[in-house]
Structure 1
Amino acid sequence: MARVSPETNTASPSGVVRRLRDGMAGGVLSFPLTAFHDDGSLDPDGCRAYLAAQLATVPGAVFPACGTGEFFSLDEDEYRQVVSIAVEEAAGRVPVVAGAGYGWAQAARFARIAEEAGADALLVLPHYLVAAPQDGLAAQLEQLAARTRLPLIAYQRGQAVYGLEAFRRIARIPSVIGLKDGRSDLDGLQRLTLAAPEGFLFFNGAPTAEMQARAYAAVGVPAYSSAVHAFAPEIANAFFAALRSGDGGSADKLLRDFYIPFVELRDRVPGYSVSLVKAAARLRGRQVGPVRAPLTDPSSADLADLRELLASGLDMVGAAL
């Protein structure tokens, strides 16, 4: 596989911001699944075919090896392959933002791999296990920023929750270009958006983000990631178009008849936020394989409900199962 060296990957933080902003205005953000064989080993060919199909739907950007892509289950060699495939398939058409996480020392190892593979930026996933004070959260980003040339997007979720002062501190790091929020504390998020420097990017990263897209947009965060795009880009793009055009009736119908039932199905079992998405992609004929433990694939009963809901949703937007 061809590699894009750091020397030829000349995108500056401001250039990445510009490309991401342009992409966010035109489409949802794609968080691709990672394909595995039935025995749990990485399936590079499946990853490549899946990425090609995702890119054909013209997302605003792709975020490989993040939560939906089971970053937490990848070793470093597998991570290198996943990010490299994303960079090669994107071929400069959209930004590639790779996931990286754990403590800063381990995150820096993944950052070096992503940099060598030609990624445009990193999404810094919440650190592992321990609760941390605000100074520590800020120091985590500072330590990582000192060890990579890639622009960083902080992910506020789980153990990583930024108060106003810690946010101001990370926003002063030249390579920190944005924040993805998965907490849905809109009061707190509004405070951060008002304190942010000009040009700082914000992303709605709530689970099934379409459910709260209007509320996030109201506090100045219209861009969002879409788990539904991972298996039904037709539905995700139809909702995005309805929202952007002010077609409230179509948006409401999709929320009422597809997204709310999907969330109710997703909430039945811990981990379904990934495994249900992967099962739905398999129903669409994508060769993405099973999830890795500790996640589990959906039960036969839940899979039947998913198939029925997916067929109904696709029928709403005139697409086929």
Structure 2
Amino acid sequence: MEFNGILFFPLTPFNAEDALDEEALAAHVRAGLAHRPGGVFAACGTGEIHALSTDEQARTVRTAVTATGGAAPVIAGAGGSVRTAIEQAAAARAMGADGVLLLPPYLVGAPQRGIVDYVRAVAEAVPIPLIVYQRATMALTPASAAELAELPGVVGIKDGMGDLDRMHQIVLAVRERRGADFTFFNGLPTAELTVRAYTGIGVALYSSAAFAFAPEVATAFYRALHAGDPLADTLLDVFYRPLARLRDRSPGYAVSLVKAGARLRGAVMGGVRPPFVDPTEEETAELAAIIDAGVAAVTTAAS
């Protein structure tokens, strides 16, 4: 599976009754597509999969697939208990998704053998390409990663841990077994801050939370980075680093701030579901100033 460009992780909008707002989701996905992302990852971490029912996960994926209309690959989130992960992966396949991002099992630690078995169980039950999300309770050794890479259906690893030495060893081990036909990408919050380091170990793809609320800024950064344009460093200074400092104030703000940013930009979005909390009015004002600074930098560079 090939992705060309920023990986877009849409938010999941809820209405005033806290129900899934499919119309708002479709509009959100279409707005992102106007900036040509390399892939659309629906009902994943940024999309609050932990807070969705099985039915809502399926409807979210169906809406994203329809709204995308083949313009980019659509990957659906699945995870939790092994049976839930299988059910969600099957629903994603039925809804037309091109692949699944397999999230870690919740709350339980496991040996490497158990992690491999968890992924194998989903891969054997549902014939759909799987990307394994390495984070929290699904931390891989290089040997386990190489074993996973040889499972039929496993096509990639998303890293959410930030351990560059571990990830470099994983890349080397997998490439030795699979060659270049395997996808890696940086899935850290505010991944733009670490994209250069990850590129140095052979992981050039990254997911962009900022793309969900400031796609023009995220796209300008991506282009500037690849062109060697100093705008990339300017955006790190005025947008991404301040955003990361604000994000680090509270657990869950990696999602809550993104949703608040989308509301500030005019999207119909609603708030986050518990246990996440929305930012305060003061924090929302800080976020607005950060967005303004990022947009201003892009506008100035283009003039």
Are residue 228 (structure 1) and residue 228 (structure 2) matched? no
CA distance in 2, matches of 1:164, 1:193: 8
CA distance in 2, matches of 1:207, 1:306: 16
CA distance in 1, matches of 2:142, 2:99: 24
The DSSP-based 3-state class of the residue aligned with 1:33 is: coil
Question: Which ranges in structure 1 are unaligned for 5 or more consecutive residues?
Answer: 1-16
Q: State TM-score, norm by structure 2.
A: 0.96
Task: Give, in angstroms, the shift of residue 103 of structure 1.
Answer: 2.0
Task: Give, in angstroms, the shift of residue 38 of structure 1.
Answer: 2.2
Q: State TM-score, norm by structure 1.
A: 0.91
Question: Which ranges in structure 2 are unaligned for 5 or more consecutive residues?
Answer: none
- Of residues 193, 196, 215, the one that matches 2:197 is 215
Aligned to 2:298: 317
Are residue 117 (structure 1) and residue 99 (structure 2) matched? no
Question: Aligned ranges for residues 234-313 of structure 1 at < 5 Å?
Answer: 234-247=216-229, 249-313=230-294
State the Cα deviation string for residues 121-162 of structure 1 (Å, max 9, x = none). Answer: 000011100111000000001111111010100000111100
Asked whether the equivalents of residues 33 and 68 of structure 2 are also in contact (C-alpha less than 8 Å), the reply is yes
Aligned to 2:139: 161
Task: Give, in angstroms, the shift of residue 214 of structure 1.
Answer: 0.2
Asked whether the equivalents of residues 38 and 290 of structure 1 are also in contact (C-alpha less than 8 Å), the reply is no
Aligned to 2:48: 70
The DSSP-based 3-state class of the residue aligned with 2:299 is: coil
Aligned to 2:155: 177
How many pairs are equivalent?
296
Aligned to 1:7: none
Task: Give, in angstroms, the shift of residue 39 of structure 1.
Answer: 2.5
Asked whether the equivalents of residues 153 and 177 of structure 1 are also in contact (C-alpha less than 8 Å), the reply is yes
Letter of the structure 2 residue corresponding to residue 47 of structure 1? L
Task: Give, in angstroms, the shift of residue 164 of structure 1.
Answer: 1.7
CA distance in 2, matches of 1:178, 1:283: 34
Asked whether the equivalents of residues 145 and 175 of structure 1 are also in contact (C-alpha less than 8 Å), the reply is yes
CA distance in 2, matches of 1:165, 1:309: 42
State the Cα deviation string for residues 89-125 of structure 1 (Å, max 9, x = none). Answer: 1111110000000122110000111011000000001
CA distance in 1, matches of 2:192, 2:16: 31
Q: Decide which moves more: 195-204 or 221-230.
A: 195-204
| Cα-Cα RMSD | 1.0
Aligned to 1:13: none
Asked whether the equivalents of residues 6 and 37 of structure 2 are also in contact (C-alpha less than 8 Å), the reply is yes
Aligned to 1:202: 184
Asked whether the equivalents of residues 143 and 173 of structure 2 are also in contact (C-alpha less than 8 Å), the reply is no
